[in-house]
Structure 1
Amino acid sequence: MIERWNRDQVLALAPDASSQKAAQGVSSPGKWSNAGVAAEAVWGECKGSGSTPYRACVDLSEPAYRCSCPSRKFPCKHALGLLLLWSADGVPGADEPADWVAEWLDQRRARAARPAAAPRAAEPGAAPDPRRAEQREQRVAAGLEELERWLADQVRQGIAGSRRHDHWDGLVKRLVDAQAPGVAGTVSRLGAVLADDDWPARLLSEYSLLHLLLTAHRRELLAPAVRGRVGFPVTREEVLAGETVRDVWDVLGRRDEEQERLISRRVWLRGRTTGRAALVLSFAPTGQALDASLVTGTAMDAELAFYPGTAPLRALVAARHAAAPAAPPPGSTPEAVLGEIAAALAGDPWTDSWPVVLDAVVPMRNGAWLLGGADGGLPLHPSAGTPWRLVAASGGHPLTVAAEWTPGGLRPLSTWDEEGRVVVL
């Protein structure tokens, strides 16, 4: 039987705030009939506006969801409401899943056991064209040379003219045309720096990192990390064909960001034995469902395949073996965390986020909010504001806290209460 999740973990699965509110409206026992939980599934029938109740079920091992309602949100409010009812111990246990649930689970197992289709024989002209690859290398090199000249002009002329948010638009388009989408994306995000009070220093810092990237590319230094930042693709198949790292991976938390009608989800993992940090990314157009299979506060015995790099972080889940008992992950002191960050930056100087777990720290105010102890601590990111949930969970007592490190400070992800239950921050 899967260990029961708490309310915070369930609400963290919702695609938006309105889904959270709607789910709480259908989470009362009176809304549900024929509900049950067995092994790795929970199911039930929820009253709707029609005469026939909606059938909802959740495969807790993924998780995966199914509901007969017409909602396009995923998971829908009925699946979330069912999980909320289960988290409150409101779903009775059963020896076996209902027939319609068992049928769905069998179909899922059959699809998972189906061997991958063998790749089709390459058709004439389907193999990678060395000339085309060389042409792209030349176009990228030319685009980066233009960017290097542009940066030199900015330094000579001063950055006062950068106050316009469209200052970089023309350059971004030319970098896209030069087939360097990674660095084009970096340049396109420079406008966000202008919102900061210390924008001149921030902008010069970003220009310095860009110049470092261009120099490293020209000298072929840190090749995998640099090529990835520039925008040379590594396919999913190539990543999965490489070596994997098996461990019990704690799901520390996640963060969603929206940019240009595309939502990205960053899920942070940490290996209990290896201590490896991992980032699982997923993307979806605005309004569509993102991958919700990695639940904050859970753990899984799994194999991860990492994208190439000198400080590998981004990964794919190559194989799942079993769920693992949830528990607070092993933590480190602030000093040890700083050493880990320094090592990551030495391998990839453009690293802008990294998952960390701090042990025996308290939130405290010293001008700005910190996580630490009597000897000082690490500052929180200004966007964290006053961390009321963290303060309430601590009550002045030391906590294990998972956070996302950024150059601007820590973004808290999750913590654990006295009974070892996760609190999503």
Structure 2
Amino acid sequence: MSAGGSRWTAEQVLALAPDAASRKAGAKLAAPGPWSGTGAGRGAVWGQCKGSGSRPYQTVVDVAGGGAPGYRCSCPSRKFPCKHALGLLLLWSEGPGAVPEAPDSVPEWADSWLGGRRRRAEGREAAARDGERAAAPADPEAARRRAEQRAARIAAGATELEQRLEDLLRGGLAGAEQSGYAVWDEMARRMVDAQAPGLAARVRELGAIPGSGAGWPSRLLEECALLHLLDRGFLGIDGLPEPLAATVRARVGITVEAAEVLADREAVVRDHWLVLGQHDTEEGKLTVRRIWLYGARSGRPALLLSFGAAGRAPELTLPVGSSVDADLAYYPGAQALRAALGERHAAPEPGGAPPGVGVHDALASYAAALCGDPWLDGWPVVLTDVVPVPVGEGWQLADAEGDSALPVVVTAGTRSRMWQLAAVSGGGPVTVFGECGPRGFTPYTTWSDTAIPLTAAGTGGGAE
């Protein structure tokens, strides 16, 4: 038996890289030369890599199920995983001839770290199983009063924001370009003071639109309309159906703890979840990781969010293309998509290509999702039998018959992904995972013999 039930593919390993430089450096270390004492077993891979110092770097990776992969290396790198961990995993992916199975020969330095990590994981799982009690507030009445006070502050902020939007429209959108970003930044700070981080984020996005290129007044008006709709939704939240009210609360920034979501055992969905894609973005001082899943039995999509601070990659990583036997619970909302990851019952295994739809059905699913959540930036879709076609300065994904096509969102990142996709397709139809959004389709993954993450130029983990 291998370290984690089955050895990962090279593509799955490279999907873990925090950036393009780490991918390149890790690939250079995916050779037996610099390594000694390598082995795999008991859910781990270990080895010693010769570096610039007198002592080799001790590297161990926990690839067992029940938690995110863990890494320890004695090198001074601040990246997780470092190039040595990536190189070791790439070597391991080549088979027992490169890294032998040695479950009874785990070195003391690796065994000690693995034991401590797994004891901590068991403690977290025990806490998660006791989530219902942990999620309950010690003083329900005090919690209710705090929630009411926050709702009142957000309502005051939404009312002020409505007045500012009215002033903007009354004065004309043309003046927004001359007023600069300071006006929007000050408005966003007011929303933070009102404890509405979701409104603050949308205001900051508004500030980036003026002067962003041809057609910016139309885009600004569209986003103002959506912000107005969110304001009015919160101010009239008592009259909304509960699923839509939950969506509005989430959009303004009122969050629900994962423990509370997982505490409802009847709402937990156990499935074999195929990992469709992973994408990192820099949002303020946070790195936000999005991981999309597809339930093999339930047929439901799911989105996991993970966060890393101060330039650190988020801890949660699932190899793209793998299948994970795990529990998920969806956050409340009119359109169930975001989920909390619960217990994992086995290590990730290689998964096949997911079922997909054509262009027309993809648009229909996005339209249906918008009915429940008008503020959706994107909806996960797997397109089958589409051909990447360059059109002018951009790209389209056309169905094999050429009857319909989806425009691809134009950014530097998507351009590089589309050239990669075109190389994989060779001019023929392919299966592509991505998001349908108001500006078009954003691709993240394609399938050949295995899943192939489409990476933007200069990135390794999908961040642009």
TM-score normalized by the length of structure 2 = 0.85
- CA shift in 2, pair 1:105/1:308, >3 Å: same
- Residue 184 (structure 2) aligns with: 168
- Residue 285 (structure 2) aligns with: 261
Unaligned runs of 5+ in 1: none
Within the candidate set 196, 221, 234, 1:180 is matched to: 196
Q: Is the partner of 2:199 in helix, strand or coil? A: helix
Output the CA distance in 1 between the equivalents of 2:168 and 2:245: 27
- Residue 314 (structure 1) aligns with: 338
Q: Supply the RMSD in Å over aligned alpha carbons.
A: 2.4
Q: Which shows bigger deviation, 153-162 or 122-131?
A: 122-131
Q: Is the 8 A contact 1:277 1:354 kept in 2?
A: no
Alignment of 1:376 onto 2:387: no
Output the CA distance in 1 between the equivalents of 2:219 and 2:8: 41
- CA shift in 2, pair 1:196/1:39, >3 Å: farther
Aligned length: 423
Counterpart mapping for 1:57-206 below 5 A: 57-61=60-64, 62-89=68-95, 91-96=98-103, 97-100=105-108, 101-114=110-123, 115-116=126-127, 128-163=142-177, 164-194=180-210, 195-206=212-223
What is the Cα deviation at residue 285 of structure 1?
1.9
What is the Cα deviation at residue 377 of structure 1?
1.8
Output the CA distance in 1 between the equivalents of 2:135 and 2:341: 27
What is the Cα deviation at residue 403 of structure 1?
0.9
Q: Is the partner of 1:224 in helix, strand or coil? A: helix
- Residue 385 (structure 1) aligns with: 415
What is the Cα deviation at residue 354 of structure 1?
1.9
**Partner amino acid for 1:94?**
E
What is the Cα deviation at residue 88 of structure 1?
3.7
Output the CA distance in 1 between the equivalents of 2:144 and 2:351: 49
Output the CA distance in 1 between the equivalents of 2:420 and 2:33: 30
- Residue 410 (structure 1) aligns with: 441
Q: Is the partner of 1:167 in helix, strand or coil? A: helix
Within the candidate set 44, 49, 64, 2:52 is matched to: 49
**Partner amino acid for 1:193?**
I
Q: Which shows bigger deviation, 243-252 or 19-28?
A: 19-28
- CA shift in 2, pair 1:129/1:269, >3 Å: closer
**Partner amino acid for 2:398?**
G
Output the CA distance in 1 between the equivalents of 2:148 and 2:316: 39
Output the CA distance in 2 between the equivalents of 1:6 and 1:271: 21
- CA shift in 2, pair 1:68/1:140, >3 Å: same
**Partner amino acid for 1:381?**
V
What is the Cα deviation at residue 111 of structure 1?
3.3
What is the Cα deviation at residue 199 of structure 1?
0.8
Structure number with greater CO (CA < 8 Å, separation at least 6) is 2
Q: Is the partner of 1:128 in helix, strand or coil? A: helix
Q: Is the 8 A contact 1:36 1:91 kept in 2?
A: no
**Partner amino acid for 1:16?**
D
Alignment of 1:332 onto 2:357: yes
Q: Is the 8 A contact 2:91 2:99 kept in 1?
A: no
Output the CA distance in 2 between the equivalents of 1:252 and 1:403: 9
- Residue 302 (structure 1) aligns with: 326
Within the candidate set 451, 454, 458, 1:422 is matched to: 451
Cα deviation, 1:216-268, whole Å, max 9, x if unaligned, reads 22222220000111122212221221321111111111221113222111111
Cα deviation, 1:190-210, whole Å, max 9, x if unaligned, reads 123232321111100000101
- Residue 26 (structure 1) aligns with: 29
**Partner amino acid for 1:201?**
S
Output the CA distance in 2 between the equivalents of 1:48 and 1:288: 24
Cα deviation, 1:121-140, whole Å, max 9, x if unaligned, reads 99997963443332222221
**Partner amino acid for 1:87?**
S
Counterpart mapping for 1:218-367 below 5 A: 218-220=235-237, 221=240, 222-242=244-264, 243-322=267-346, 323-367=348-392
Output the CA distance in 1 between the equivalents of 2:442 and 2:358: 17
- CA shift in 2, pair 1:327/1:125, >3 Å: closer
Aligned identity (percent) is 49
Q: Is the 8 A contact 1:257 1:263 kept in 2?
A: yes
- Residue 459 (structure 2) aligns with: none
Output the CA distance in 2 between the equivalents of 1:49 and 1:201: 57
**Partner amino acid for 1:113?**
E
TM-score normalized by the length of structure 1 = 0.92
